[in-house]
Structure 1
Amino acid sequence: MTDADRSDSLMSPIQPEQLDPGAVIAQSLDNQWVPAQLTRDMIESGRSLDQVDRRRVREVRAEYFRSLINASQVVINRAYFYNNDAINRDLMEEDEARAAHRRLLASGAIVPFLLGERHPAEEPPAHLHVRRQGFTAWQETLAGMSASDRVRCVRMSWDDSQGDKENRERARIRLFQPFTEKVQGLTAKDIDVLAAQVGVAREDTDRFGARLGEVVGFSNGLSVSRQPVVRNTLYEEFVSVPGTNVAEGRYDRAKPFAAEIKQLLDLIYNVNLADALGRYPLTPVGSLRRVVLQEAREARAATVGVVQDPEQLLTFLRRQSFAAVQDHLTPAAVNDLSLHDIWRLRQTPVWNAYIQAFGALTAAPEAFHDGVGRVFDCYVRLNSEILKLARERRQARPSAWRPVVEVVVTVGAAVFTAVSGNELWQVAGSVLPLTVSGSLTGSVQLVLRNRMAGRQEQRFAREIATVRLASEREWAQFHDLVRRLPGYQDTAGPAATGTASATTQDNEDLPEY
């Protein structure tokens, strides 16, 4: 049996619509993803990705595990299985880690995304960067799967009647073209809102807008000359140190607004695969969210509820009551667990109840008051189960825990946050005046976390509704309702942090994305 035959026999090709409704695409697995604070440190100190690799890989692995804990299914770009050290370390071990990875593949918990390949074990094109040891481990992992196992692989199209032409066209239309359009539409946004949400000081807004004009002009020039508009090319011009390979991750503090432009490019880059597959991008807590793009997003209305009524929007911020917390400890580091532990966790009734509760809430956000308490209770029980697994490993360090639900409502440049749980409730607003063309779109995000926060702890954040108010009058009505909530406080202007994100890999038949 040839490698191709073997791969075909173990693979179940699926279309995007066959993914689980709760499937996510984890942003943190992208080769340029860096936590927000670390990004700022890198630009200030001139350090590269390799120079912060140890800290970064630890962060990525924690986000990788969180995605497997908090979502029924995770879609991962095939290249990341062998090029991302946070993932391939499990494949290189001959013990329970590789066995756990095989089980997660066979169960459909992990779904490889194939851009131009037709099977998961296919040799990458020679011109692409490949960690050879990781790729060998990936092939061995697939080759060692049981004859009855099947790996679900998702692709834009599997129709080969025209030599893969349909798949290439869908990739261009759903991935490459939307990236170009979003980049070229940046100056059509409300620049005041955009600047505030990426953290630009108000006095620098005009300079920031002018720099965005340069980004758009450069992108237009590429399009006119029929050159692809891809993130690496824009990085070279506006973000990276001249003469360096973009993959090195050396970001140039001498280039105006390099950090903010990186945030925007990474955000735009991230959302395309999730949109193309009709699923969610999984946003690490504190990372820049797509509400910054000020989109109408009619295409996502089928999977994310749209809130248009000020009274209905207020329900997300009103106080909730939750069950008492019995166990006041949580593992301080999710990635102190093993992949085998994650597999075991996913087999428990507690995990299944949590996934079902969260799925019900995201399917019907209008029933938030009825469903959020159950999600919280399931979240508390899930963390107790994680703690039980963590205690079996000597290196796991339990720490104090105050579990909370945080709801973040964004409308234009205004951000309202309500924190509730464990006998605690706070609500605060960070509001900038609406401009003449003020954006009245936004989102509702649900965050489950430990109030005594540490980056390595279990937490989850996901958008559960889109906000679209019809007029400034409705915005004023909503703002007035929120200000009447007991204990409401106004805070300083909204702060935003950046991230990089995962979408597609390079392929010889498609331009670098």
Structure 2
Amino acid sequence: MTDVDSSDGLMKPIRPEQLDPGAVIAQSLDNQWVPAQLTRQMIERGESLDQVGLLRRQEVRAEYFRSLINAGQVVINRAYFYNNDAINCDLVEQGESRTAHQRLLASGAIVPFLLGERHPAEEPPDRLHVRRDGFTAWQETLEGLPATDRVRCVRMSWDDSADDHENRESTRLRLFQPFAEKVQGLTAKDIDVLAAQTGVAREDADRFGRRLGEVVAFSNDLRVSRRPVVRNALYEEFVTVPGTNVAEGRYDRSKPFAAQIKQLLDLVYNVNLADALGRYPLTPGDSLRRVVLQEAREARAATGFVEDPEHLLTFLRRHAFAAVQDRLTPAAVNALTLQDIWRLRQTSVWNEYVRAFGALTAAPDTFDERVGQVFDRYVGLNSEILRLARERERARPAPWRPVVEVVVTVGAAVFTAVSGSDLWEVAGSVLPLTVSGSLTGSVQLVLRNRIAGRQEQRFAREIASVRLASEREWTQFHDLVRRLPGYRDASGPAPTGTASATTQDNEDLPEY
């Protein structure tokens, strides 16, 4: 494979395997991303993305900042730089905000993903929706980079053939085809588990399953007629109001299970890109997590499997952390500016935090040994966030009780353990098993303030996959968990699988 020669000296072309090992793809930057609760509100009220624009932009910007705080490298679809207001506002504003963005690009903290284009400043095709002021600001941002700086841009292939055949074929095999396969595999899942994790009432599970069957059948019809299976086509049929542009985000309440299908399509869309690049999807709060897909593996096989019930229990056992009481944390991450985020990433506390978490994800079996260090670095990081916010007189301090939370999901069962006091607080919400054979799930690590706030700094990511061979092993694990101090069976509805439009612009490849 041949890398292109960046003749203008601006771009450093890289392939997916050259991304940092801990690089993430932030789902919140997706042009259709909406928190689950807000999605339900939009459908109920008939609201469009524009009508909830201010609230949604605040949510997206907070998640954008969290991704830059909690990961060393964030991969962003090129089109989001000029069509996503939560990102582009820093470029349009110019001044220190644009400078901070340029520094993040030059340092490799932000990496543009190019689908078919060969340069980050390349003019998009006329047929695609483009915010012209945003694109002009993006071009000016790139042109204003110091002559010695290089922007890392990732693409499936940088072959220099006249028709770009290698990139087109690699994109088809690694991006478009797997998306279709993931959609067509939805009815192969345990429908009761899928219904529970997407918030469908038990009595509606059969109807939900039939609707998923219609999604799969429609997808299959597209495939056999040699039309691309892309999210927009599925949205038009099952999610959005007929006759409206998908980019408007008008979701149709008359279409059965529109909210749940939208969330599933969004999840598949975003984990699919992460898989194609061989990196992590970073799922924001109040969005479906990857475990909902009931896969036999996570995005990166390197995370390994936890297959022994007793081993799995170690992720839920009591760990003593001194409760940190007399500390404060900003009540909102978006009280900061992008310049603050850049400054934060230059501090020793940020680098120590990222290294500590990287060591944990590289060896999840060492959870007992390493999670305490991650927690300590998290405390120090939030103190630095507060210092930066105070400098701008934007901080709104609130009492802070930092906790480590571990969430183990197996099928439709969710076990949560919360530290930050002398004892774990353990709750399990268990649904009847309806499957035979192996059970899959995940272990998720969450760092947050016990006094919850939607705009606060928080962190959540899967750190290991779970695969239990049979119902017998699942029952064994459940029995072990029941013996933990403070265990209680949670009451109420079944747990959901939540963790707490920019168009791909390529003239030859179909819209992804």
Tell me which interval the TM-score lies in, with the shorter structure as reference length: over 0.9
Q: How big is each residue's C-alpha offset from its partner over 1:270-303, in whole Å with a ceiling of 9 and x where there is no partner?
A: 111111111100011232111111111277322x
Q: By how many angstroms is 1:188 displaced? A: 1.1
What amino acid is aligned across from residue 426 of structure 2 in structure 1?
A: V
Residue 74 of structure 2 is matched in structure 1 by 74
Tell me, yes or no, if structure 1 residue 167 matches structure 2 residue 167.
Answer: yes
Residue 439 of structure 2 is matched in structure 1 by 440
Give 3-state SS (helix, strand or coil) of 1:449's partner.
strand
Residue 362 of structure 2 is matched in structure 1 by 363
**Distance in structure 2 (CA, Å) of the matches to 1:118 and 1:323:** 52
Counterpart contact for 1:263–1:498, Cα < 8 Å: no
**Distance in structure 1 (CA, Å) of the matches to 2:142 and 2:298:** 39
Distance change >3 Å, CA 7–CA 320, structure 1 → 2? farther
Q: By how many angstroms is 1:438 displaced? A: 6.5
What TM-score does the superposition give when structure 2 sets the normalisation length?
Answer: 0.96
Give 3-state SS (helix, strand or coil) of 1:92's partner.
helix
Residue 496 of structure 2 is matched in structure 1 by 496
Q: How big is each residue's C-alpha offset from its partner over 1:460-489, in whole Å with a ceiling of 9 and x where there is no partner?
A: 111100001111111111111011101101
Give 3-state SS (helix, strand or coil) of 1:434's partner.
coil
What amino acid is aligned across from residue 395 of structure 2 in structure 1?
A: A
Counterpart contact for 2:197–2:498, Cα < 8 Å: no
Tell me, yes or no, if structure 1 residue 478 matches structure 2 residue 477.
Answer: yes
Counterpart contact for 2:280–2:300, Cα < 8 Å: no
Residue 53 of structure 1 is matched in structure 2 by 53
Residue 202 of structure 1 is matched in structure 2 by 202
What TM-score does the superposition give when structure 1 sets the normalisation length?
Answer: 0.96
Residue 462 of structure 1 is matched in structure 2 by 461
**Distance in structure 2 (CA, Å) of the matches to 1:451 and 1:164:** 51
Q: By how many angstroms is 1:436 displaced? A: 3.8
Q: By how many angstroms is 1:394 displaced? A: 2.3
Counterpart contact for 1:431–1:493, Cα < 8 Å: no
Tell me, yes or no, if structure 1 residue 387 matches structure 2 residue 408.
Answer: no
**Distance in structure 1 (CA, Å) of the matches to 2:147 and 2:5:** 13
What amino acid is aligned across from residue 124 of structure 1 in structure 2?
A: P
**Distance in structure 2 (CA, Å) of the matches to 1:258 and 1:495:** 19
Written as runs of structure 1 = structure 2, the 5 A alignment for 1:286-435 is 286-297=286-297, 300-302=300-302, 304-325=303-324, 327-423=326-422, 425-435=424-434
Superposition CA RMSD, Å: 1.8
Residue 33 of structure 1 is matched in structure 2 by 33
Give 3-state SS (helix, strand or coil) of 1:105's partner.
helix
Q: By how many angstroms is 1:495 displaced? A: 2.9
Counterpart contact for 1:46–1:252, Cα < 8 Å: yes
Q: By how many angstroms is 1:395 displaced? A: 2.9
Give 3-state SS (helix, strand or coil) of 2:9's partner.
helix
Give 3-state SS (helix, strand or coil) of 1:405's partner.
strand
Give 3-state SS (helix, strand or coil) of 2:240's partner.
coil
Q: How big is each residue's C-alpha offset from its partner over 1:140-162, in whole Å with a ceiling of 9 and x where there is no partner?
A: 01101111101111110011135
Q: By how many angstroms is 1:94 displaced? A: 2.5
Q: By how many angstroms is 1:35 displaced? A: 1.3
Distance change >3 Å, CA 298–CA 428, structure 1 → 2? closer
Distance change >3 Å, CA 245–CA 497, structure 1 → 2? farther
Q: How big is each residue's C-alpha offset from its partner over 1:48-71, in whole Å with a ceiling of 9 and x where there is no partner?
A: 000000000000000000000000
Counterpart contact for 2:427–2:489, Cα < 8 Å: yes
Q: By how many angstroms is 1:404 displaced? A: 0.8
**Distance in structure 2 (CA, Å) of the matches to 1:59 and 1:497:** 19
Residue 102 of structure 1 is matched in structure 2 by 102
Give the number of equivalent residue pairs: 507
Q: State the identity as a percent.
A: 81
Q: By how many angstroms is 1:424 displaced? A: 5.7
Residue 181 of structure 1 is matched in structure 2 by 181
Give 3-state SS (helix, strand or coil) of 1:453's partner.
coil
Q: By how many angstroms is 1:93 displaced? A: 2.0
What amino acid is aligned across from residue 139 of structure 2 in structure 1?
A: Q
Written as runs of structure 1 = structure 2, the 5 A alignment for 1:133-148 is 133-148=133-148
Q: By how many angstroms is 1:326 displaced? A: 6.1
Q: By how many angstroms is 1:33 displaced? A: 0.5
Unpaired runs of 5+ residues, structure 1, are: none
Q: By how many angstroms is 1:6 displaced? A: 8.2
What amino acid is aligned across from residue 99 of structure 2 in structure 1?
A: A
Counterpart contact for 1:415–1:494, Cα < 8 Å: no
Distance change >3 Å, CA 463–CA 216, structure 1 → 2? same
**Distance in structure 1 (CA, Å) of the matches to 2:299 and 2:287:** 23
What amino acid is aligned across from residue 250 of structure 1 in structure 2?
A: R
Q: By how many angstroms is 1:398 displaced? A: 1.2
Q: How big is each residue's C-alpha offset from its partner over 1:301-353, in whole Å with a ceiling of 9 and x where there is no partner?
A: 22x12111111111111111224526421101101100000000000000000
Written as runs of structure 1 = structure 2, the 5 A alignment for 1:163-312 is 163-297=163-297, 300-302=300-302, 304-312=303-311
**Distance in structure 1 (CA, Å) of the matches to 2:346 and 2:454:** 26
Farther-moved stretch of structure 1 (91-100 vs 414-423): 414-423
**Distance in structure 2 (CA, Å) of the matches to 1:360 and 1:162:** 43
Counterpart contact for 1:100–1:339, Cα < 8 Å: yes
Counterpart contact for 2:320–2:423, Cα < 8 Å: no
Give 3-state SS (helix, strand or coil) of 2:93's partner.
coil
Unpaired runs of 5+ residues, structure 2, are: none
Farther-moved stretch of structure 1 (416-425 vs 255-264): 416-425
